[in-house]
Structure 1
Amino acid sequence: MTLYTPSPAVAEALAAGRPVVALESTIITHGMPWPQNLEVARKVEDTVRSNGAEPATIAVIDGTLHVGLTDAQLEALAQTRGVAKLSRADMAVCMSQGRTGATTVAATMIAAELAGIAVFATGGIGGVHQGAENSFDISADLQELSQTAVTVIAAGAKAILDIPKTMEVLETLGVPVIAYGQDKIPAFWSRDAGLPAPLRMDTAAEIAGAHIMRGKLGLPGGQLVTNPIPVEAEIARETLAPIIARAAQDAADHGIAGKNVTPYLLQRIFELTEGRSLEANIALVLNNARLAAEIAQEMCKITK
């Protein structure tokens, strides 16, 4: 039984041993409206290609796990309504029922490892939500990083989360958290979360080498590479803090909970920043795609 279907371009790249970068699909179905979602998805894929790797956008379509989408599939997914948001818990159910679902960080990692893809570029990972000491709301992304051997390039945890607690959980789970090119952990839209980085690496080759060495040691799980948003696109932490606080209060006032919290907060912050948060989001995703392609190339050099 074939568990996934690669696109022709991804199948060719994997067979030839060329670098491939996995991409999630929730940014398409849950992150932006049509047609901007398609435009950004194409830009991210083009960025991966122009930096020497093949993009593999991952999604479940009518029960089939696709590792890499054709442009026609990408366009169709961008216009599909009622798409499920898949993580480890519900990915298999969606596939068995023949439904369509977009992959979160955790689900994308699972599919990438299944296909033999070691590098994944995203915007920001999930983590420990504010008030988790009462709600126990912690993203499955963190556990996935501890058990699935994929190096994830992100601009840190989403700024709406409790980043200190997120870092504590990652440390407990034994996940290497690497800051790229700086000594501080970035916070999604901001370059500095106010926390020192446990590890720092300044080149794609170093990151690739660490991933390969983890495999040789038999260590489970992957790596989290926190790549700071470009300076020109940054929204300072001091500017964001009161905006995030207001958005969180609005969510509480409206009884927003569970999986609905993150999309609500991101939309509210978009409104409160008059669209600036979305512009920053696009810039950081493209920046992460560039670095991911470089890391994928370096991994291919080591393993050939």
Structure 2
Amino acid sequence: MTIRYNNQVAIVTGAGAGLGRSHALALAARGAKVVVNDLASANGEMSAGALAVVAEIEKAGGEAMANGANVADMQQVQSMVEQAMEKWGRIDILVNNAGILRDKSFSKMSIEDFKLVVDVHLMGSVNCTKAVWEIMKQQNYGRIVMTTSSSGLYGNFGQANYGAAKMAVVGLMNTLCIEGQKNNIQVNCLSPTARTAMTEELIEDKRVLELMTVESVTTGLLVLVAENAPNRTILGCGAGGYARAIIKETDGIYLSPEEQTPENLLANWATLDDQKNAEELKAGWMQTNKYVAKAAASLGVDLSSK
């Protein structure tokens, strides 16, 4: 079955270049009407990149509009959403792609640079998602993608600010996919690695960069915003490789009240760390239930009886 987005409206942030441009063009090529967001200049002049992407979409027979909202500014984001609603009357897809880097070791990083990166990546995603959330609830349809990163999932030297923000959007997804489920709003995370202006400075081998096409990442994005998309998925994409990142918890151990000392915990660390029966927990209450069930079983308490 061919994936199409006919009669759907998509907002792609940071879409004037790189991954965002690729996402916007691909969505439009498959029938979506696209808001091409890219940060305007200080005097309000529209990004040349955004205008070029709109022109390319329109030349191919699609519909698009450029928008210069700063995603870290809620008022500007709300205006962007209002413009899309006035023009097309609905919003089906939100791709939170806008981002910046301010890389330095944590020792040398200013707190201002830490806050700036968090504001753009985390609060930018929060602002855009909040602005479309009620619209999607009323439609009983929505597909939202957060852009996370291996730097957040696994760590990367010099990117404490970026990594913290990118892991934060995973936490945002984990709750929103639960809250949006009854209204058919599905929320996923894309974890890309691609040749962009942000990564070219970090990777010196040109052969590697040639493999890391933005289009290979967009293939994954198109799945995450499709009608039959998964929910609560972290999809890794890069250079033609695709994988799902999963947060699991080991089965763990139980210590009775008398045994609950740091010495006993450390002595049982190998068992606690055994990943043989590790499980993906899909809500916070599942962890609580697991711990309480272990304690009840040890104490001979039947939780099924009242």
| Common topology (TM > 0.5) | no
Higher-Rg structure is 2
Structure having greater relative contact order (Cα 8 Å, sep ≥ 6):
1
TM-score (norm 2): 0.39
